[in-house]
Amino acid sequence: MQKEIEIAVVPEKIQDTEHLLELGAKQLNLERSRIQGHHIRKRSIDARGRKVLYRMRVIFYIDELPIPEIFTAAIKPVHDALPVIIIGAGPAGLFAAYRCLERGLKPIVIERGKQVKERRRDLARINREGFVNPESNYCFGEGGAGTYSDGKLYTRSNKRGDVDKVLRIFVQHGAPEDILVDARPHIGTNKLPHIIEDMRNTILEFGGEIRFDCRVNDIVAEFGQVKAVRTSAGETIKADHVIVATGHSARDIFYLFQQKGWLIEAKPFALGVRIEHPQEIIDQAQYHCSTRPEALPPAYYSLVEQVNGRGVFSFCMCPGGIIAPCSTEDNEIVVNGWSPSKRNNPHANSGTVIQINMEDVPNAFSDPFALLRFQQDIEQQAFRLGGGNLVAPAQRMVDFVQQKVSVTLPENSYKPGTNSVDLNQVLPSFVHEALRGALPLFGQKMKGYYTNEAILVGVESRTSSPIRIPRDKETLQHPEITGLYPCGEGAGYAGGIVSAAIDGINCVDAIQ
């Protein structure tokens, strides 16, 4: 017999199996000897009270031994199967390719960037020299933006598809099993490359193809039906199904659609800054302690506030993390954040952003590129005020609210360097005003948050794509081109690793 219940566990006992079994027996009013094993379904940290607890949904096995779960995917060789071209090897593209194997279709993945190991040299050069390779950077390359920007797997996309399946495929390729139970699953930038490599090897072993350092220059359609793609290698690859999973920063794809006269449209996105605190400030605030206990991970936060009718919210929070330079072109500053699996760096950072609506930007309802140009102008202004070499404009938090240029900047994790600037010169006035109003209010919600020990680094501008490639809700195909499937973050249908992976799966499932 099996019984699922919720138990509360003090952090120092979380790894004590016998303690968990005793708690289960006590709560079920059974003799301990009858509990033969357990399986954790979900686990989260509850820091609402003075005493921090783990809350866990646990299945207890009564008078029977637990049956180990075995997950195997029904993939099959597809060497000679119907081809499906997938543009982009981010999470949407890779999971679309994996789903092709399950459905007996042959994925041909075309990725403009390099394999994960080779990307490291380009990332090192970005941090060391401020040099951006427009084809290989934090956004472009095998695994997409997620590979070297953390690997957070938290999502609200349960209604879109099978989240558990995505997580299990990650585990099958080397991710820790903890991601199956943690409320906010996280892999870590140090571990993701090996997992992505393993997924690539599976795709190749079963007959899929992957072309790296290969950009799609053209998508060929005849009489409203997709027929082929042409690549930077001079190759024409024929297929009746093309999935466009290029990510939120592949602006050339949007210009290709414009050139061909295919429908695209402006889409709201969020804009703001990265805010970084010493991790100990966040730990003290969230765990109500002077020093974080070893049994607890570095603390997380999520904050939201309304200011003058605008929502200001934290986004992509990275405990024990690093602020990374995520520009994809010269002369622009874009920042993001990531954490290693242990989240053991001394700082915590989070995007703190405001929604940019269509009415905020002139001509957005008639010009699909209006919001993209708005985004681009801010990124270029950030570069100019930073002073070059990807040095980012920055300001201490209280100085920002009081509109004072910081005399000095605190030690921070952004490796290309920071330059003290009045961020009012970088951010649009309505964004600046909303942030100035929200930060003291965040400080009222979380003790210690509002402090000049925190630094604001500009700009966090690639939260999502400022352009949407429309598609039919039922067929998931572009309304004008049969066989063309806009997919993932770049097309405007996902907002993170898991939701992008689910969308990749859904696009393959839409192929008849």
Question: Six-digit token pair at 359?
Answer: 């009415």
Q: Is 224 left (phi over 0), alpha (psi -120 to 50) or beta?
A: left
User: Which letter does DSSP use for residue 201 in this model?
Assistant: H
**189-230 tens-digit pLDDT:** 788 889 999 999 999 999 999 999 999 999 999 999 999 999
Q: How many CA atoms lie within 13 A of 16 on its CB side?
A: 13
Helices 497-509, 91-103: inter-axial angle, 10-degree rounding: 40
Residue 383 φ/ψ, nearest 5 degrees: -65, -45
- CB 243 within 8 Å of CB 93: yes
Tokens encoding 111: 């990725």
Predicted confidence pLDDT, tens digits, the chain (512 residues)? 999 999 999 999 999 999 999 999 999 999 999 999 999 999 999 998 889 999 999 999 999 999 887 777 789 899 999 999 999 999 999 999 999 999 999 999 999 999 999 999 999 999 999 999 999 999 999 999 878 766 678 766 565 678 999 999 999 999 999 999 998 888 887 888 899 999 999 999 999 999 999 999 999 999 999 999 999 999 999 999 999 999 999 999 999 999 999 999 999 999 999 999 999 999 999 999 999 998 999 999 999 999 989 999 999 999 999 999 999 999 999 999 988 888 889 999 999 999 999 999 999 999 999 999 999 999 999 999 999 999 999 999 999 999 999 999 999 999 999 999 999 999 999 999 999 999 999 999 999 999 999 999 999 999 999 999 999 999 999 999 999 999 999 899 998 899 999 999 999 999 98
Q: Which of 193, 209, 179 is nearest to 146 (CA)?
A: 193
Cis peptide before 459 (omega within 30 of 0): yes
Spatial distance between the Cα atoms of 507 and 94, rounded to a whole number of angstroms = 12
Phi first, then psi, for residue 272 (nearest 5°) are 180, -135
Where do we find the tokens 């795709």?
A: 203
Burial label for 388, CB within 10 Å (0-12, 13-18, 19+), is: exposed
CA distance 126 to 135: 13
Please report the pLDDT score of residue 156 as a whole number. Answer: 63
Neighbours of 399 (CB within 10 A): 19
Angular region, 84: left φ>0, alpha ψ -120 to 50, beta rest = beta
What local confidence, expressed as pLDDT, does residue 359 receive?
96
pLDDT at 229: 98
pLDDT at position 186 is 84
Rg of the Cα atoms in the chain: 24
CB 489 within 8 A of CB 464: yes
Question: What would the two tokens of residue 158 be?
Answer: 């349960």
Question: Cβ neighbours of residue 72 under 8 Å, at least 6 residues apart?
Answer: none
54-70 burial: b if 16+ Cβ within 10 Å, else e: bebebebbbeeeeeeee
Q: Tokens at residue 462, please? A: 């690639």
Task: Give the model confidence (pLDDT) of 99-137 as tens digits.
Answer: 999 999 999 999 999 999 999 999 999 999 999 999 999
Burial class (CB in 10 A: 0-12, 13-18, 19+), 308: exposed
Q: Are 277 and 348 in contact (CB under 8 A)?
A: yes
Give the CA-trace dihedral at 259, 262, 263, 268, to 10 degrees. -40
* DSSP assignments along 202-219, one per residue: HHHHTT-EEE-S--EEEE
- The DSSP line for 39-83 is EEEEEEEE-SSSS-EEEEEEEEEESSPPPPP---------TTS-E
Strand, coil or helix: 165: helix
SS3 (DSSP) at 345: coil
The residue with tokens 């240029």 is 405
C-alpha closest to that of 458 among 384, 367, 385, 393: 393
| Phi then psi dihedrals of residue 163, to 5 deg | -60, -45
